[in-house]
């Protein structure tokens, strides 16, 4: 059946290279230590380049999509359809003076943006982009991602605290409250998939979806978990309608009020990369990662789908999720703090628990679609 196509390319992948970057590096250790160093340096440089390009592309996409959502055009002047606008802005941000407020906690003020950015970079390392491309595969991948993305809020908290500005502090505290609340729901939603897949490793979860994506294979609880994850993670990455830590109208920029130039752009980039991380996690856990879209019994259709390279599948799914998150941003108004808390503790959390309970019953009774093995 359709399984044949997937196995074919998993076999070709195996013949080619089915190892993660970290495994390659550790294998090289037995031959030559400099090869290992080269692998590590290559991985670092490669992921940094990818992150920069991704950030530029996402910011451009956001501006364009925002424009069209609001009957505007978005950037149009720098380059054809404004494609170099973000690049020009990066140059501007690099040239700007980096101001540290008077009596600010200097060390923390300087450190905060890098913490925010570093957390995101650490998550990007474990995402399986394609069967051939993954930097590290951890056997506790899901746990690692939830833990590290919670670490990113440390940067925001530090930035707000060290700025010596009450708006910044308020924004940072709101951000802390928000991430404590919504992390619970997001993790509960991820737990559903972990229950079904029976593994925490991200690569393992992708491979468990060979027979169908968990979003519909998990018999209804999958789609509920997906929606909860989408809402909760939008809140976690502080995007509108949950952008109360920034809240331009009430906090004049929130935690990054006092940041300028390079450091501001780090916060900004981290925000956009977090969006990518959320998209990648949603795609990996619910939409089958790099697995192509297959319909049971439709051999020809499945073959055609199998021809599309897995990395295209992965990025297609991620950008779909990112588009939805942007769509949220340009449609919904911002929530008040109390509304935000009510949504989490009174709506998302109870539904999440019930959903998790239902999922465990389904798993125990083996009652899900196309149990392949």
Partner 1 sequence: MGAVDFSKVRLEQRTLAGVKIPVAVVPRIKKQSYLEKILIALKGLMKGMRLTFGYLIHPSRIVTQQYPENRATLKFPERYRANLKLIYDENGYHLCGGCKMCEKACPNASIKVLNRKGPVTGKLELDRYIWRMDSCTFCNLCVMACPSDALQMTHQFENAVYDRRLLIYNLNRYAGPPAEAMAKLDEEARKQAMEPRDVYGGPVPLNGEPLPNIPPIVIAGEEKAASETPPSTEGPAA
Smallest distance from partner 1 to CB 232, Å? 15
Least spacing, CB of residue 71 vs partner 1, in Å: 5
| CB-based contact 152:116 (threshold 8 Å) | yes
Report the residue number, 193 or 325, with the smaller CB distance to partner 1: 325
In degrees and rounded to multiples of 5, residue 250 shows phi and psi of: -110, -30
Measured distance CA(125)–CA(119) in Å, rounded: 10
Interface residue list for partner 1 (CB under 8 A): 65, 67-73, 76, 327-328, 330-332, 347
d(CA 20, CA 132): 7
Q: What is the DSSP string of 213-266?
A: -HHHHTTTHHHHHHHHHHHHHHHHTT-TTS-TTT-HHHHTTGGGTT--HHHHHH
Pick 158 or 325: Cβ nearer partner 1: 325
Measured from the CB atom, the residue of 65 and 262 that comes closer to partner 1 is 65
The residues, ordered by sequence, that sit 6+ positions from 209 with a Cβ below 8 Å of its Cβ are 197, 217, 288, 289, 291
| Closer residue to partner 1 (CB): 17 or 331 | 331
Minimum distance, C-beta of residue 248 to partner 1, in the bound complex (Å): 20
HEC sequence for 155-198:
HHHHHHHHCCCHHHHHHHHHHHHHHHHHHHHHHHHHHHHHHHHC
Shortest spacing between CB 72 and partner 1, in angstroms: 5
Q: Which residue lies nearer to partner 1 by CB, 41 or 76?
A: 76
Shortest Cβ 73–partner 1 spacing (Å): 5
User: What's the min distance (Å) between Cβ of 221 and partner 1?
Assistant: 16
Kindly state the tokens that stand for 249.
């109208």
When the beta carbons of 66 and 100 are compared against partner 1, the nearer one is: 66
């Amino acid at each position: 059946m359709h399984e044949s196509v997937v196995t074919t390319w998993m076999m070709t992948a195996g013949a080619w290279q089915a190892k993660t970057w970290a495994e390659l590096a550790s294998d090289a250790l037995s031959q030559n230590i400099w090869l290992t160093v080269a692998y590590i340096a290559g991985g670092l440089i490669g992921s940094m380049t990818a992150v920069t390009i991704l950030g530029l592309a996402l910011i451009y996409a956001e501006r364009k999509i925002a424009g069209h959502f609001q009957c505007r055009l978005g950037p149009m002047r720098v380059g054809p359809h404004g494609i170099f606008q973000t690049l020009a802005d990066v140059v501007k941000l690099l040239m700007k003076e980096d101001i540290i407020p008077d009596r600010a906690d200097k060390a923390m003020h300087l450190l905060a943006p890098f913490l925010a950015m570093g957390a995101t970079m650490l998550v990007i390392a474990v995402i399986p982009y394609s069967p051939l491309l993954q930097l590290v595969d951890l056997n506790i991948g899901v746990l690692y991602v939830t833990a590290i993305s919670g670490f990113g809020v440390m940067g925001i908290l530090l930035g707000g605290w060290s700025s010596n500005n009450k708006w910044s502090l308020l924004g940072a505290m709101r951000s802390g409250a928000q991430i404590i609340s919504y992390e619970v729901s997001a993790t509960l939603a991820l737990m559903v998939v972990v229950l079904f897949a029976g593994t925490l490793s991200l690569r393992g979860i992708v491979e468990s979806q060979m027979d169908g994506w968990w979003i519909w294979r998990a018999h209804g609880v999958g789609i509920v978990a997906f929606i909860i994850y989408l809402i909760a993670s939008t809140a976690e990455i502080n995007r509108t309608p949950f952008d109360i830590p920034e809240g331009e109208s009430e906090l004049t920029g929130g935690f990054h009020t006092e940041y300028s130039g390079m450091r501001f752009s780090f916060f900004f980039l981290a925000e956009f990369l977090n969006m990518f991380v959320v998209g990648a996690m949603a795609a990996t856990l619910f939409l089958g990662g790099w697995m192509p879209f297959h319909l049971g019994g439709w051999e020809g259709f499945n073959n055609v789908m199998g021809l599309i390279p897995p990395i295209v599948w992965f990025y297609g799914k991620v950008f779909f999720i990112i588009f939805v998150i942007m769509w949220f941003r340009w449609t919904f108004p911002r929530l008040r703090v109390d509304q935000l808390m009510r949504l989490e503790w009174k709506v998302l959390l109870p539904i999440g628990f019930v959903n998790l309970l239902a999922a465990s019953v389904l798993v125990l009774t083996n009652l899900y679609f196309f149990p392949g093995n």
